[in-house]
Structure formats: C-alpha cells, structure tokens
Amino acid sequence: MDAVTIKTPEEIEKMRELGRLVAEALDYIGQFVKPGVTTNEIDKLVYDYHVNVQGGFPAPLNYGNPPYPKSCCTSVNHVICHGIPDDKPLKEGDILNIDLTIKKDGFHGDSSRMFAVGEIKPVAQRLIDVTHESMMAGIEAVKPGATLGDIGYACQQIAENAGYSVVQEFCGHGIGRKFHEAPQVLHYGRKGQGLVLEPGMIFTIEPMINQGKRHLRILPDGWTVVTKDRMLSAQWEHEVLVTDTGYEILTVSPMTGRP
C-alpha cells in the first residue's frame, strides 16, 4: 500500500460532502428493509439513488477481481461482509448489514449500518448493539498522537468482554480519491502500537463482530464471507477524520443526527 495521504482543507471539504451523501443514502434505503423485500430490490434502489438523485456512482459496481457484480453489499445473518444482493426475500427476524460507497467528483464516501428485519430476537439485537459500541469505542480513541493499535484495542475490548469475537482478516481502510487507501485499520491490537495518527487523515472504522468464533470462509463467488460456525455476525462502519483535537465522524445520519 502507498503512504497515508494527509488530506488538504479542500479535500476534507469534499470528503465531508461525500460522507453526507452516503449517510443520506443509508437513511433513504432503511425505509425499504422489511420482510418480503429482496436484497436485489434494495440494490436497484441504491443504484437509482446514487446515480439519479445524488449524481454519483456506486463504487462497488465492477470493483475488484473478480469484478463485484452489484451496487452495494447486503450481508444477512451469518454473512460477515461482501454479501451479494440476490432474489431471496428477507424474512422476519433476519439481521442485515447494508454497506454503501458512493463515488462522485473523484472522491468516495463509505459507510454501513445494521438493520433489523421486522422483530428480531434479543440475542441478535445485543450483537448489533455491542458491535456499534465496539465501533464507537474505536472512534473515540482517535486523536492526533494516538495509534492505530489504540483503535484496534478499543474495538476488541468491547467485543470480547461481551463474549464475542473480532474478525481479523478484514479491516478498515484509508479513503479519499481511492476507494481503499492506506492505512489498514485493524479492529484488534495493542495500545501504543502501529501508525501514529495525524490531523488530516481519513479512514474507516468498521468492526465485524461474530456471535461465535472469529473463523470464516469465503464462498466460491470470491466475495461472500460467512462465519464458519454459521452463527450471526454484525458490522457497522463510519468514516472518521483526524482533527487537530480529536475526531470528526463524516458519515453521521442526517435524518437522526446520530452516528
């Protein structure tokens, strides 16, 4: 990976705009998550919203190798990440992560949220809540002079103290003109280790937390990642700017004002 880019004030302004756009898209799409809806229907809505309403483009579409075939990732129940939208209807009690990335004017905005499909079990809600808490603990560790290890340690403590495990093969990432830039942001680690944070860095914090063991497998499609023990997995993702005094979350929901 290349060196970590420190964003200029102009680039930070663009990244604020892109962060707002992706958060607005998640606000918009949330209303369609209900039993009977297919993830393909959600995917079409995402494409239409990014392109026709927001004037951007879904960055996941045709990204990577093999080229990712859809406009967003929809990870249901035991799918950890990169679930490919399909024609299977969502059912009551499912949990769903929707991961969106919009590209516009040469910049990217990337965020994901968990959604409950109808009424879900308390054990599923607890996993969702603890995963959000894990992400927020990681975000709260961000400030100039802190390290990437501080972020990973904070995420890991919350998850493991709740009896869950942290996926280690996938991580957060720098973002800006590229979808994925340096640094890699692990969601486990040791305090004081790794890259020292500086104002102007922008990266995602996106812990993937499993109800059971951390082990995973990747399906033959080359993208879909599932828990090996088929137990539930949850993920939240925000984009964070290192400021002079701490952090700024660039992907807060405009609808609720909450991260």
Question: Has 215 been labeled as part of a binding site?
Answer: no
Question: Has 110 been labeled as part of a binding site?
Answer: yes
pLDDT digit string (tens) for 31-72?
A: 999 999 999 999 999 999 999 999 999 999 999 999 999 999
pLDDT score for 178: 97
Q: Are 85 and 39 in contact (CB under 8 A)?
A: yes
* Domains, the chain: 9-249 (3.90.230.10)
Which of 125, 117, 144 minimizes the C-alpha distance to 244?
Answer: 144
Angle at 177 between CA 234 and CA 4, to 5 degrees: 80
pLDDT digit string (tens) for 147-156?
A: 999 999 999 9
pLDDT at 96 over 70: yes
CA dihedral 55→111→9→198, nearest 10 degrees, is -160
83 CB neighbour count, 10 Å cutoff: 26
Question: Has 198 been labeled as part of a binding site?
Answer: no
pLDDT score for 95: 98
CA 49 to chain centre: 19
pLDDT score for 2: 75
Question: Has 237 been labeled as part of a binding site?
Answer: yes
Tell me if the pTM is above 0.85.
Answer: yes
Amino acid at 160: E
pLDDT at 180 over 70: yes
Question: Has 99 been labeled as part of a binding site?
Answer: yes
Please list, in sequence order, all residues whose beta carbon lies within 8 angstroms of the beta carbon of residue 108, skipping any fewer than 6 positions away. Answer: 18, 59, 101, 102, 175, 176, 177, 178, 179
Question: Has 119 been labeled as part of a binding site?
Answer: no
